[in-house]
Amino acid sequence: MDLISRHLQPRVEDTLEWARVVMLHGARQSGKTTLTKAIVESLGGTYLSLDDEAQRRLAEADPITYLLNQRHPLAIDEVQLGGDRLIRAVKQLVDAEQTPGRFLLSGSTNFLTVPNISESLAGRVQLFRLSPLSEAELAGTQPTKIDHWFDGMPRLAPVVPIARNEYLARLCRGGYPEAIELSPSARRRWFRSYIETVVQRDIAALADIRKIAALPSLLQWTAGLTSSQVNLSDAARRLQTSRLAVTSYFEWLQTVFLVHELPAWTRSLASRPARRPKFHLTDSGLAASLLGADPESLAPPTANATGPLLETFVTNEISRQLAAADRHVRLSHYRDSQGREIDLILESDNGAVVAVEIKATRSPTSSQTHHLAWLRDKLDAAAPGSFQAGILLHTGEQSGKIGDRLHMRPISCLWSA
């Protein structure tokens, strides 16, 4: 496929102008190597990969010498394979010479949670997470839509609607660059191989997990519950292991970016909110593959997997766009003891809130915004001015304002030009 511009590239390049170290981490095959090489080429630096066994041996034997006498920025791909000594050598060099743009590190595990790396480079490193391709990147549009939500959506730009089956096709395709242009059958084989590689290589190399074979089963079970609150005790019973072990397994699935947690949102509202997080698979195509789902099986109105998978698809798209945005926004979900649920709560640093409901229907109704209206009224009373917009995203064509700060929009508004 043609090289696709990544929204993170200008942010990473700008950060290298003032930060000594930048860390770009994310799932395998999400495009980190391609992006790292593009940045290094743009800035005239050096690229090295510890996936190369010879390079890894050099880094392990004498990390200081390995890092010296290289053009900056020095990009080190799969840096977690170099272990703690290499990271400590990076720290030593950037402390001795506080020049910006020294190192661009990248890796397929969460840099802050890898147990064999004790040094966090706190105060020296800026972290970026690269996910698989967003629909906005594939469409060549900029991730500016969500900024308008926090502005109260003063202007609704026209949206080119797409058919419901097109949403389902995009959902099942996912965003992994290498899998996008494959046929459905080849993509399923690619996903199976991908899971095996990540589990047997990345997790097995870093974790002391006795039942490594249980991880694919846990991941498949999680795919069936994607966009839902997960009961770890149920998972433990299913896998015939302890709850403590399952908790550890989930932590590793997050460390290698196969699963991400959506925490519960709370403020001082009248009803008691649920505290349990939701879990989403990092890519809807991976989730659909694990469930054996395709656009045809998801098309009937009675298909149980369609709603949760579509919610994961939209949540991932919003998360991917926010990762490249200037505005810092926290993502969470809401559920309370009265049965009120809101799929996504977006909250900026200044306390501004946007609430999002995601529906698979092509015929949305105003009744589907009742929980959004409830949250608006509660926040207007508890924190006036904080509620900016409530948005119902759907697979139909309806677009417009349906109440005070409440809107309906097709899901494709997230990437329409």
Number of helical (H) and strand (E) elements in the chain, helices listed first = 18, 14
**Is residue 348 a contact partner of residue 357, using CB atoms and an 8 Å limit?**
no
User: Please, which residues bridge with residue 410 across strands?
Assistant: 394
CA distance 158 to 18: 39
**Is residue 232 a contact partner of residue 250, using CB atoms and an 8 Å limit?**
yes
What is the maximal distance between C-alpha atoms in the chain? 65
Give the mean pLDDT of 134-157: 84
State the residue for tokens 């977006």.
346
pLDDT at 180: 95
pLDDT at 319: 96
CA distance 261 to 132: 17
pLDDT at 122: 84
Both structure tokens of 147: 């900024």
Give the mean pLDDT of 360-382: 94
pLDDT at 339: 86
Domains for the chain: give ranges and CATH numbers. 8-129 (3.40.50.300), 135-414 (no CATH)
Nearest alpha-carbon partner for 231 in 220, 246, 245, 241: 246
pLDDT single digits (tens) 265-296: 987 665 666 678 888 999 999 999 999 999 99
pLDDT at 163 over 60: yes
pLDDT at 143: 80
Coil vs helix vs strand at 402: strand
pLDDT single digits (tens) 20-56: 999 999 999 999 999 999 999 999 999 999 989 999 9
**Is residue 130 a contact partner of residue 30, using CB atoms and an 8 Å limit?**
yes
State the residue for tokens 């397994």.
249
